[in-house]
């Protein structure tokens, strides 16, 4: 699906990242915009460690259902270990070939996943297919070219971030998401921005996780010198201690729905 490796180590790292205050706040905003009701059925495409599924499961309750799918067997294993309710289920699944019947869900959500799938339009068409008429969806994505990350060596920062772009298939997906949703057959219902701002580099900040992931990914690519990459990563702690750390990014939240006139 992308340049990322789906390993147990990365699954644990992602699990830790999803517990940071920034991602927890993003999760709360996603749930707010989903406007879930008791008894609804929900599909989470690319459920990761399952925290969003668990939160949604608390809202839809025993008369509803939440299904989470992910390509990572390690992430699904983490989800199953922690599964708190019988109406919450997980499965290995391909976002371009969803193993669910037409018109199965009231809601489909996909956060920070579509940009990693080369055939992103297929993901949208599959989301539309499994939605009931009148059902709704939210897609959340990042534009990696819009990240603001301070460094005293901006050329080195630019080189590292350029190399990092290869980690996903569509590093600027938000710029085309609105018309992709319409082309897939959805009714586009609007978009909002959820900002993330870190002024410290610590374990509870969102940017701590990506900095580790970026360092490891770029090191494997070997198109940035190892010494430069180590300096790039090591600078963050120094800037943080000096009160000069700055990281900012946006999550772009796109809302759409399936027209009631469409067949399921």
Question: Do residues 79 and 90 lie in contact, with contact meaning Cβ atoms separated by under 8 Å?
Answer: yes
Count: domains in the chain: 1
Residues ≥6 apart with Cβ < 8 Å to 82: 50, 54
Interval 76-95: pLDDT, tens: 998 998 878 899 999 999 99
Work out the angle at residue 45's Cα, subtended by the Cα atoms of residues 93 and 252, and round it to the nearest 5 degrees.
150
Has residue 31 been placed in a domain?
Answer: yes
Within-domain flag for 54: yes
Quick check: is 1 in a domain?
Answer: no
* Number of other residues whose CB lies within 10 A of the CB of residue 117: 24
Within-domain flag for 3:
no
Percentage above 70 pLDDT, the chain: 95
Indicate whether 162 belongs to any domain.
yes
Would you state the pLDDT for residue 17?
83
Residue 189 is assigned to a structural domain of this protein: yes
| pLDDT for 19 | 81
Taking residues 190-196, report their average pLDDT.
97
Are 167 and 2 within 8 A, CB to CB? yes
Sequence-ordered alpha helix ranges (H) in 146-241: 154-164, 174-184, 208-221, 226-241
Which pLDDT score is estimated for 82?
Answer: 83
Q: What number is the average pLDDT over the span 161-190?
A: 97
- Residue 18's pLDDT is 83
Whether 241 is in a domain gets the answer yes
Domain holding 102, by residue range, is: 8-257
- Please determine, for residue 204, whether its predicted confidence score (pLDDT) is greater than 80: yes
Which pLDDT band, with edges at 50, 70 and 90, does 232 fall under?
Answer: very high
- The average confidence (pLDDT) of the chain is 93
Q: How deeply is 63 buried, as exposed, middle or buried, from its count of CB atoms within 10 A (0-12, 13-18, 19+)?
A: exposed
Residue 264 domain-assigned (yes or no): no
CATH number for the domain spanning 68: value is: 3.40.50.150
Give Cβ neighbours of residue 7 (< 8 Å, ≥ 6 apart): 74
Residues 235-253 have a mean pLDDT of 98
Query: Over the stretch 118-164, which tens digit does the pLDDT of each residue have?
Result: 999 999 999 999 999 999 999 999 999 999 999 999 999 999 999 99
In this predicted structure, the answer to whether residue 5 has a pLDDT above a threshold of 60 is no
pLDDT digits (tens, 9 = 90+) for 46-60: 999 999 999 999 999
pLDDT digits (tens, 9 = 90+) for 15-54: 788 888 999 999 999 999 999 999 999 999 999 999 999 9
Least confident of 6-10, 84-88, 173-177: 6-10
pLDDT of residue 110: 98
């Amino acid at each position: 699906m992308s340049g990322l490796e789906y390993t147990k180590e990365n699954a644990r790292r992602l699990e830790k990242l999803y517990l940071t205050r920034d991602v927890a706040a993003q999760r709360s905003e996603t749930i707010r915009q989903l406007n879930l009701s008791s008894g609804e059925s929900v599909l989470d495409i690319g459920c990761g460690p399952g925290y969003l599924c668990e939160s949604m499961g608390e809202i839809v309750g025993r008369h509803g259902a939440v299904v989470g799918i992910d390509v990572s067997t390690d992430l699904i294993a983490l989800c199953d270990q922690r599964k708190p309710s019988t109406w919450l289920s997980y499965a290995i699944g391909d976002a371009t070939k969803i193993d669910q019947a037409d018109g199965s869900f009231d809601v489909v959500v996909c956060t920070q996943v579509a940009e990693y799938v080369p055939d992103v339009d297929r993901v949208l068409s599959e989301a539309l297919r499994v939605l009931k008429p009148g059902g709704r969806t939210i897609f959340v994505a990042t534009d990696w070219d819009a990240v603001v990350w301070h460094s005293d060596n901006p050329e080195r920062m630019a080189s590292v971030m350029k190399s990092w772009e290869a980690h996903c298939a569509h590093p600027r997906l938000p710029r085309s998401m609105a018309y992709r949703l319409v082309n897939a057959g959805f009714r586009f219902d609007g978009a909002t921005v959820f900002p993330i701002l870190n002024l410290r580099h610590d374990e509870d900040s969102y940017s701590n996780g990506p900095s580790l992931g970026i360092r490891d990914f770029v090191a494997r690519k070997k198109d940035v010198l190892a010494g430069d990459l180590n300096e790039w990563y090591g600078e963050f702690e120094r800037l943080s201690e000096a009160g000069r750390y700055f990281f900012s990014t946006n999550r772009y939240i796109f809302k759409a729905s399936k027209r009631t006139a469409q067949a399921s």
